[in-house]
Chain A
Amino acid sequence: MADKIISVYWFAILIIVAGGIIAMVNIFYNSPYDVREIEAEILTNKVGDCFSDLGYLESGIFDGQGFLINENNFLEKCKLNFNTPEGDLQYYVQVNLFQAGDLENSFFEVLQGNKNLKADCFISGEYEKLSKCVEKGFFTLDKSGNLYLIKILSVIDKSEKNVK
Chain B
Amino acid sequence: MKKRGTILVENIIFIILNLLFLSILVLFLVKQGSGAVLLEQSYAKQIALLIDSGEPGMTLKINMEKAKKLSEKNGINFEEVVKIDENLVTIKLSEGSGYSYSFFNDVEVAPPYTDGEFYILNIDKKWQIK
Contact = CB atoms under 8 A, between A and B. Distances in A.
A146 interface: no
B29 interface: yes
A29 B106 contact: no
B16 interface: no
B28 A32 contact: no
A18 B26 CA distance: 10
B18 to A, nearest CB: 7
B128 interface: no
Nearest to B52: A42
Interface residues of B, number: 30
Given A14-B18, A21-B25, A42-B52, A29 B38 contact: yes
B45 interface: yes
Nearest to B56: A79
Contacts of B106: 75, 79-81
A35 to B, nearest CB: 5
Name the residue among A32, A39, A83 with the largest chain B CB count within 10 angstroms: A39
B41 A32 contact: yes
Interface string B68-105: 00000000000000000011100000000000111111
A138 interface: no
B35 to A, nearest CB: 7
A81 B33 contact: no
Interface in B98-128: 100-107
A84 B87 CA distance: 8
A81 B87 contact: yes
A29 B104 CA distance: 26
B32 interface: yes
Nearest to A75: B106
A25 B102 CA distance: 27
Contacts of A75: 106
Contacts of B28: 22, 25
A88 interface: no
Given A3-B10, A35-B49, A79-B107, A25 B29 contact: yes
A38 B25 CA distance: 34
A32 to B, nearest CB: 6
A38 B104 contact: no
Interface of B: 7, 10, 14, 17-18, 21, 25, 28-29, 32-33, 35, 38, 41-42, 45, 49, 52-53, 86-88, 100-107
Given A43-B52, A81-B87, 6 more contacts: A10-B18, A14-B18, A25-B29, A26-B32, A33-B41, A79-B106
